[in-house]
Structure 1
Amino acid sequence: MNFSKNKSSKLFLLLGSFAIVSLILWNTNSFFKEFKEEERRKMEIWATAQSELMQSSENRDLGNLHLIIFQNNTSTPMIMVNKDGSTKLNNFPEEMLQDSTWIQQKVQLFKSENTPISIDYKGEHLATLYYGNSAMLNKLKYYPVALLLIIFLFGAVIFFFFKVNKASEQNKLWAGMAKETAHQIGTPLTSLLGWNELLKGSGTATEITSEIDKDIDRLQTIADRFSKIGSLPKLDEVDLVEETKAAYEYLKLRSSKLIHFSFKSQIEQMPVFLNPALFQWTIENLVKNGVDAMRGKGNISIEIQEEGNHVNVLVTDTGHGIAKSDFQTIFNPGVTSKKRGWGLGLSLAKRIIEEYHKGKIKVLSSSKEGTIMQISLKKL
């Protein structure tokens, strides 16, 4: 049976596990209460024996029973306070018997742990017995806490397992959808290529067929991108400046005239290991997010800078900005500020840069004046 794909089995496993641990916890708590009651009965017997001993007016033999009761109590710490204020301590270190402050602290502690036992004889109050929990009882007292911690950790592990499992299933689903999309695009693309060749042969203006060729190439690039989702892409040694500029030029030609583009590079060439199709997809996602943030009007700039062993690509927009608390979450799948958005663009960009290219992508800075996104890649 595959528990990862069977929701009822998952629920049964989770509930069954919690039921077992809860049963152990309940039994332990019951045992603790019984053990505590047993200790109290033992203390009451000791108090009764002590009462008989204190009322013995003659130094006569009271029998072996009293002696056995007194000798058998070697685990429960106790303090007997006589009516004259004197104290008698059992089961304590010898060095603490003369410390009156420590004894008073123990009396208050025992009072909070167990109800004191009054030692009386024929209506006369002789002493009060204060007793604490034995070492065994103290261990049992903290055992339920340990079990609760185990339950919490167990629940956390189960939650993490299901979360990772669900994320893995979603990744497989998206990868399958992406590959299927690439496959479906391939059929009309083949037809478009054929129709465009017919247009060229029929004397259609070169400007028209040339633009159709560009869009066909673009569709082929998109299909290639989708086909790479879910598999490890091949990285080639290419010029980062050239690939970035190619993405910039394409977006500039096909964007609104209300968007002002600018490109700047401190270097003429920068060889890096890249998958050009996926890298340009990342640039397009960042630019399109910037355009959406500006609501179709503003400035977009792309700049390439060297920084030690790395080269940075900065994409700047003049949009409304991103809250600092959202700098990390915007890269999570499904997070979007657009009404019709899927929240996949930045998530894909992060995967492309960090998982495939072993680089870094982050929000470098953001304010009401705009946002700067940074891609950092290692130089060759």
Structure 2
Amino acid sequence: MNFSPKRKASNIILLISAFAIVSLILWNTNSFFRKFKEEERLKMEIWATAQLELIQSSVDQELGNLTLKVMGNNTSTPMILVNEEGSFKTHNIPKEKIADSVYIQKKIRQFASENEPIQIIQDGELLETLYYGNSEVLNKLKYYPLALLLIIFLFGTVIFFFFRTNKASEQNKLWAGMAKETAHQIGTPLTSLLGWNELLKSEDINPDITKEIAKDIDRLHTITERFSKIGSVPELRNHDIVAETEKAYQYLIQRSSKLVHFSFSTNVEQLYVPLNPPLYNWSIENLVKNGIDAMKGKGNIGIQIEKKGQNVHILVSDTGQGIPKSDFQNIFIPGVTTKKRGWGLGLSLVKRIVEEYHKGKIKVFSSSKEGTIMQISLRTNET
């Protein structure tokens, strides 16, 4: 992530600009809403005046027609006109609701809360009270800022995830480049070590020493191959998963504490699965090492291979302190670790190798205070 002052300043300016634009739009919308509401109020006052003129113009027919024309122009604002006796007339109210007195009373209270009622007075006497609500246009305008904020929020969310994904992609490329460069850097001294070991074999020294050095050189070669494959699509070929699992397992047995007891079992002697051995073995080693760490270097580690239908399950068990059920999914997230010291990359790397490269599945099969069982599931080529 780039934390340079220029990048920070540009982010702050962008944030302030976005806030200013949203604030301006909301302020402008609110001003327009209030102005529209004032105009609607004026229209209702004119309508109330026309209603009073209609009452007074029972003799003047021409004035009555003009008044009726003014009153007839209102086709959108719902109104309820209540006289001093409690009788009412409605305008722009659904016809099927006019006879429902409970509905009318509810509407009167609603209109009174939305707009101040207009009193029609003649010679100091209250003749009628006009209750009116917001027109359909005004109601839609009232919710426009919310819709606008929702659109802006969704748009911002899309942009956020776009940049987040783009940044994650850049980080993945960076890590892949670093891994390949590490593999390249290891390759030079590794070639030199091979030559020195051959030279040692010609000397009069214990052959067991050169044999162990050769094993460690092979190990370095395997690590180099693993790092070189990060960031690229690995080649999968049919390999015996029993032999490959046992190979990785035996390497760890020879280099682990005597306080750790290992066991290996399988219900098949040979089973071919599309594998990339260096990456698959890396997964097994990570799971076993995690189990050893969970047991604090003392306990039982077991691997069990089971073939069920066209799937093969590799179960790695330990007698450690267990994983809380709430963390069954979190432990596969990069950076999440239950250890006091650690990067939280081991299980996320295993998940990527198993699920992205080998199209399999990995999960916490079970966990308690007595220990944990991790399960890798892969598709076989056999029926």
Q: TM-score normalized by structure 2?
A: 0.93
- Gaps of at least 5 residues in structure 1 are none
Secondary structure at the aligned position of 1:261 is classed as: strand
Q: Please say if residues 355 and 362 of structure 2, whose CA atoms lie closer than 8 Å, have aligned partners that are also in contact.
A: yes
More moved, 163-172 vs 58-67:
58-67
Secondary structure at the aligned position of 1:75 is classed as: coil
Distance 1:231 1:10 in 2: 33
Equivalence for 1:217: 218
Equivalence for 1:343: 344
| Counterparts of residues 207-286 of structure 1 (less than 5 Å) | 207-286=208-287
Distance 2:7 2:22 in 1: 23
Question: Over residues 206-253 of structure 1, what are the superposed CA-to-partner deviations in whole Å (9 max), with x where a residue is unaligned?
Answer: 000000000000000001100100001111111000000001100011
Distance 1:236 1:6 in 2: 46
Equivalence for 1:318: 319
- Displacement, 1:39? 0.5
- Displacement, 1:97? 2.7
Distance 1:340 1:358 in 2: 30
| Counterparts of residues 3-82 of structure 1 (less than 5 Å) | 16-17=17-18, 19-54=20-55, 56=56, 59-61=59-61, 63=63, 65-82=66-83
- Displacement, 1:17? 5.0
> How many residues were matched structurally?
375
More moved, 14-23 vs 351-360:
14-23
Question: Over residues 52-103 of structure 1, what are the superposed CA-to-partner deviations in whole Å (9 max), with x where a residue is unaligned?
Answer: 433x285334726533421221211100110111101112233433332222
Q: Please say if residues 315 and 376 of structure 2, whose CA atoms lie closer than 8 Å, have aligned partners that are also in contact.
A: yes
Distance 1:224 1:281 in 2: 11
Q: Please say if residues 54 and 68 of structure 2, whose CA atoms lie closer than 8 Å, have aligned partners that are also in contact.
A: no
Secondary structure at the aligned position of 1:241 is classed as: helix
Equivalence for 2:3: none
AA of the residue aligned to 1:279: Y
AA of the residue aligned to 2:48: A
Secondary structure at the aligned position of 2:143 is classed as: helix
Question: Over residues 148-198 of structure 1, what are the superposed CA-to-partner deviations in whole Å (9 max), with x where a residue is unaligned?
Answer: 211221121122112212211211111111111111111211121121112
Equivalence for 1:104: 105
AA of the residue aligned to 1:292: D
Provide closer, same or farther for how the CA distance between residues 57 and 195 of structure 1 changes in structure 2, counting only shifts above 3 A: closer
Distance 1:57 1:362 in 2: 86
Provide closer, same or farther for how the CA distance between residues 278 and 332 of structure 1 changes in structure 2, counting only shifts above 3 A: same
AA of the residue aligned to 1:59: V
- Displacement, 1:32? 1.5
Secondary structure at the aligned position of 1:66 is classed as: helix
AA of the residue aligned to 2:221: Q
Equivalence for 1:132: 133
Distance 1:149 1:89 in 2: 36
More moved, 182-191 vs 26-35:
26-35
AA of the residue aligned to 1:341: G
More moved, 84-93 vs 298-307:
84-93
AA of the residue aligned to 1:180: E
Distance 1:343 1:35 in 2: 59
Distance 2:139 2:94 in 1: 18
Pairwise CA RMSD of aligned residues?
Answer: 2.0
More moved, 156-165 vs 87-96:
87-96
Q: Please say if residues 318 and 369 of structure 1, whose CA atoms lie closer than 8 Å, have aligned partners that are also in contact.
A: yes
Secondary structure at the aligned position of 1:338 is classed as: coil
Distance 1:272 1:158 in 2: 41
Secondary structure at the aligned position of 1:195 is classed as: helix
- Gaps of at least 5 residues in structure 2 are 1-5
More moved, 19-28 vs 7-16:
7-16
Q: Please say if residues 14 and 158 of structure 1, whose CA atoms lie closer than 8 Å, have aligned partners that are also in contact.
A: no
Distance 1:16 1:57 in 2: 59
Q: Does 1:359 align with 2:354?
A: no
Q: Please say if residues 354 and 360 of structure 2, whose CA atoms lie closer than 8 Å, have aligned partners that are also in contact.
A: yes
Counting aligned pairs with the same residue, the percent is 69
Equivalence for 2:167: 166
Provide closer, same or farther for how the CA distance between residues 355 and 57 of structure 1 changes in structure 2, counting only shifts above 3 A: closer
Question: Over residues 292-328 of structure 1, what are the superposed CA-to-partner deviations in whole Å (9 max), with x where a residue is unaligned?
Answer: 1111111100000012210000000111111111111
